């Protein structure tokens, strides 16, 4: 009788421990897991993004993302705005605000393919795994400008 009570108590505390664990296993802001310098998209994905870009973005941002009249470029000084932010923030902006005449019309997979193309256009290397569409993973990838940092 005694040992049955102990077993029940242990089972109950294991249940509480696992419930507590589940809460701890969902941190609100994951630590940065990767940067764009480590190859966070595939060549195939960037190629898909390039054709989407040509269809949906080039009209305003220019055929090679150089910018046009009153529309900012998506290369060069562009990354001064986004450098050291997350790929998630960039993807989120693109998904919510672009294309400017029809914001919110990109499918999640289209959005990340276009972002992969933008990373490639800015000299970030391709890798073995495609850029995922889920916001938590994207938010943990930091944009790291490619130009060598000044030594001081
Ligand atoms: C109808 C014209 C138009 C189209 C089409 C368009 N954009 Fe834009 N885009 C703009 C304008 C104008 C701005 C500047 C907006 C601002 O400053 O509020 C901008 C800003 C941006 C920025 C922020 C640039 C920066 O320097 O921070 C990104 C990123 C971007 N666009 C991506 C895209 C992508 C990707 C597409 C295609 C899916 C796209 N845009 C399609 C007009 C357009």
Residue nearest to atom 13 of ligand 1 (CA): 71
- Is residue 94 packed enough to be buried (19+ CB in 10 Å), middle (13-18) or exposed (0-12)? buried
The residue ranges of every structural domain in the chain are 32-142
User: What's the confidence (pLDDT) of residue 22?
Assistant: 47
- Mutation test of ligand 1: which of 69, 72, 118 has the most ligand atoms closer than 8 Å to its C-beta? 72
Q: Report the DSSP beta bridge partners of residue 68.
A: 71
Written as tens digits, the pLDDT of the chain (152 aa) is 555 655 555 555 544 444 444 455 545 555 556 899 999 999 999 999 999 999 999 999 999 898 888 899 998 878 778 887 999 999 999 999 999 999 999 999 999 999 999 999 999 999 999 999 999 999 999 998 776 555 55
Please tell me the distance between residue 15's alpha carbon and the centre of ligand 1 in angstroms.
50
Enumerate residues lining ligand 1, CB below 6 A: 56-57, 59-61, 71-72, 74, 78, 81, 93-94, 98-101, 106, 114
User: How does DSSP classify residue 63?
Assistant: T
Pick the CATH number of 32-142 from 1.10.760.10, 2.60.290.11, 1.20.1250.20, 3.40.50.300: 1.10.760.10
Helices 108-121 and 87-97: angle between axes, nearest 10 degrees? 120
User: What's the confidence (pLDDT) of residue 20?
Assistant: 46
User: What's the confidence (pLDDT) of residue 25?
Assistant: 52
Q: What's the rounded Cα separation, in Å, for the pair 145 and 66?
A: 17
């Amino acid at each position: 009788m005694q040992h049955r009570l102990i077993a029940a108590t242990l089972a109950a505390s294991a249940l509480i421990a696992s419930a507590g664990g589940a809460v701890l296993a969902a941190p609100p802001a994951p630590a940065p897991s990767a940067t764009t310098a480590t190859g966070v998209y595939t060549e195939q994905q960037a190629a898909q993004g390039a054709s989407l870009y040509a269809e949906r973005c080039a009209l305003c941002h220019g055929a090679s993302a150089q910018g046009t009249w009153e529309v900012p470029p998506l290369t060069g000084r562009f990354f001064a705005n986004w450098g050291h932010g997350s790929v998630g923030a960039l993807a989120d902006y693109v998904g919510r605000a672009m294309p400017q005449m029809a914001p919110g019309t990109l499918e999640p997979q289209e959005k990340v393919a276009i972002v992969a193309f933008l990373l490639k256009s800015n000299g970030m290397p391709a890798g073995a795994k495609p850029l995922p569409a889920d916001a938590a993973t994207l938010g943990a990838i930091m944009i790291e400008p490619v130009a060598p940092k000044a030594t001081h």
